[in-house]
């Protein structure tokens, strides 16, 4: 039961990451504002595309591991992947115009990745009794 819930949460996280990545390509200024920073691109959206492809890739990897039922690999990916929202949070909080409110999405991602990464790694694989 715990593994199924963890898979479901991880899959939703992956879909969310895919959405965020695509949004950086489709609507870069809105995505940057949602990320928690002000960025005057002056028509150069290189940063946005770099951020977008990182999020898109991360979301796809998470969803693929869920679909393949790679419990341990998914757990390691989520746990080690916690470094991304931690770094993002530090960038957001490093801006004088931001407060904790702008860091909430990053803090939420940190908690989800850490908690469910640990759960997936700590859960023993189920054996089928015949």
Q: Do 75 and 118 form a contact (C-beta atoms < 8 A)?
A: yes
Segment 53-67, tens digit of pLDDT: 999 999 999 999 999
Structure tokens at 45: 């959206």
Q: Where are the domains of the chain?
A: 2-122
Q: Where is pLDDT greater, at 34 or 21?
A: 21
Query: Measured in whole angstroms, how far is the alpha carbon of residue 97 from the centre of its chain?
Result: 24
Give the model's pLDDT for residue 126.
66
Q: 129: pLDDT confidence band, cut at 50, 70 and 90?
A: low
Its pTM stands at: 0.86
Residue 128 pLDDT exceeds 70: no
Task: Report the b/e string of 75-87 with b at 16+ CB within 10 A.
Answer: bebbbebbebbbe
Per-residue pLDDT tens digits for 12-33:
999 999 999 999 999 988 888 8
Distance CA 35, CA 25 (A): 14
- The pLDDT of residue 66: 97
């Amino acid at each position: 039961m715990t593994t199924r819930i963890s898979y479901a949460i991880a899959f939703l996280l992956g879909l969310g990451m895919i959405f965020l990545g695509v949004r950086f390509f489709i609507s870069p200024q809105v995505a940057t504002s949602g990320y928690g920073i002000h960025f005057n691109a002056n028509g150069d959206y290189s940063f946005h595309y770099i951020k977008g492809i990182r999020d898109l890739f991360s979301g796809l990897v998470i969803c693929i591991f869920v679909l393949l039922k790679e419990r341990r690999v998914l757990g390691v990916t989520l746990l080690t992947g916690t470094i991304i929202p931690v770094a993002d949070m530090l960038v957001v909080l490093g801006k004088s115009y931001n407060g904790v409110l702008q860091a909430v999405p990053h803090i939420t991602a940190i908690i989800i990745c850490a908690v469910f990464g640990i759960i997936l790694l700590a859960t023993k694989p189920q054996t089928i009794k015949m």
